[in-house]
């Protein structure tokens, strides 16, 4: 079975983070918590994965929420990519995406 998934890749602005007197690792942690609360998973070198397709409206909603919580000022830009994955259901019921 093929399921549409999406990923978001974020580029932060290190100069703005330092200018605000923030620790870059803390900002990354805040971004991780932001996305995890919205159902995303993080994978190194991939970015934030979402198990559904992210529409233009959903991407705009995420951008608006980043502004509301004050994290948008540290984001230089972000990109949304579609990722197609095949779901393999394992015997114990866990799903593995390949």
pLDDT digit string (tens) for the chain, length 98 residues: 557 889 999 999 999 999 999 999 999 999 999 999 999 999 888 889 999 989 999 999 999 999 999 999 999 988 998 887 554 444 444 544 44
Domain holding 91, by residue range, is: 2-97
Q: Please, are residues 98 and 16 in contact by the beta-carbon 8 Å criterion?
A: no
CATH label of the domain that carries residue 58: 3.30.70.240
Q: 65 in helix, strand or coil?
A: helix
pTM: 0.78
For residue 77, list its beta bridge partners.
11
d(CA 61, CA 65): 6
> Checking DSSP bridges between strand 75-89 and strand 95-97, what pairing results, if any?
antiparallel
Give per-residue burial for 46-64: e unless 16+ CB within 10 Å, then b: ebbbbbeebeeeeeeebee
pLDDT for the residue 90: 47
Distance of CA 85 to the CA centre of its chain: 17
pLDDT for the residue 1: 52
In the chain, the number of structural domains is: 1
């Amino acid at each position: 079975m093929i399921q549409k998934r999406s990923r978001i890749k974020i580029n932060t602005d290190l100069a703005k983070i330092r200018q605000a007197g923030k620790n870059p690792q803390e900002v990354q942690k805040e971004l991780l918590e932001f996305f995890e609360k919205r159902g995303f998973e993080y994978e190194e070198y991939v970015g934030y994965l979402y198990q559904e397709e992210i529409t233009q409206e959903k991407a705009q909603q995420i951008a608006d929420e980043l502004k509301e919580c004050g994290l948008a000022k540290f984001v230089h830009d972000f990109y949304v990519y579609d990722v197609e994955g095949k779901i393999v259901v394992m015997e114990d019921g866990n799903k593995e995406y390949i």
